[in-house]
Amino acid sequence: MNPNPADPVFDPPPDPALDDALSRALPPPALPAGFHARLQAAMVAEAAHDLAQQRRELEEEHARRLAALERGYVRLKRDTLATVIAAAFTAGAVVQWGVPWLHATLGIDLSSLVPLLALVIGLAVGAGVWVERFGFPRAWLRRLLG
């Protein structure tokens, strides 16, 4: 609390006895005619203005969020396309290098390697989706392994 009464932020502690004495000594001034009606009309107009302002602000925020969501969606589509293209080129490079090496090293023919490779890739993708949706099956592994 600021003890200096000349300071504009001086706020003395409330004194109920002083408040009672002042209310008895000084009668409240009379209100002008129609004061309550004008006050009520002003409050209704301010509430309507606040409601309209709030609606405009909410609509602007909604438009900003929708634009950000659409930008994120476009970015996601672009990133997905880039990932698919990168995976396709990587798979092509691996096949270009791996198939001749497997044929020379293990003597595996391409007619048996391609279905086997497709099976392994499909199982890996399926396992990835399974783990992403349902989590790693630890409880099932504990039951199976005893």
Domain-located, residue 15: no
Please tell me the predicted confidence (pLDDT) of residue 146. Answer: 61
Please tell me the predicted confidence (pLDDT) of residue 8. Answer: 66
Domain-located, residue 74: yes
Q: DSSP of the chain, one letter per residue?
A: ----TTSTT--PPP-HHHHHHHHHHSPPPPPPTTHHHHHHHHHHHHHHHHHHHHHHHHHHHHHHHHHHHHHHHHHHHHHHHHHHHHHHHHHHHHHHHHHHHHHHHH---HHHHHHHHHHHHHHHHHHHHHHHHH---HHHHHHHH-
> In terms of domains, do 58 and 94 share one?
yes
Q: Could you report the per-residue pLDDT of 19-60, keeping only the tens digit for each?
A: 888 888 888 888 888 888 998 988 888 877 777 888 899 999
Tokens of 144: 């199976």
Please tell me the predicted confidence (pLDDT) of residue 19. Answer: 85
Centre a 10 Å sphere on the Cβ of residue 137 and count the other Cβ atoms it contains.
Answer: 13
| Pairwise pLDDT comparison (136 vs 46), residue with the higher score | 46
> In terms of domains, do 113 and 96 share one?
no
Q: Could you report the per-residue pLDDT of 101-121, keeping only the tens digit for each?
A: 877 888 877 777 778 888 888
> In terms of domains, do 101 and 117 share one?
no
| Pairwise pLDDT comparison (3 vs 63), residue with the higher score | 63
> In terms of domains, do 85 and 60 share one?
yes
pLDDT beyond 70 at 4: no
Whether the full predicted model's pTM is greater than 0.85, yes or no, is: no
The most confident of the ranges 3-7, 45-49, 60-64, 125-129 is 60-64
**Which residue's structure tokens are 């349902």?**
134
Instruction: Tell me the residue range of the domain where 129 lies.
Output: 109-146
What distance in Å separates the CA atoms of residue 25 and residue 29, rounded to the nearest whole number?
A: 12
Domain-located, residue 25: no
As for how many domains the chain has, the answer is: 2
pLDDT beyond 70 at 5: no
> In terms of domains, do 50 and 89 share one?
yes
pLDDT beyond 70 at 66: yes
Mean pLDDT rounded to a whole number for the chain: 81
Domain-located, residue 71: yes
What distance in Å separates the CA atoms of residue 120 and residue 101, rounded to the nearest whole number?
A: 18
> In terms of domains, do 67 and 48 share one?
yes
Domain-located, residue 133: yes
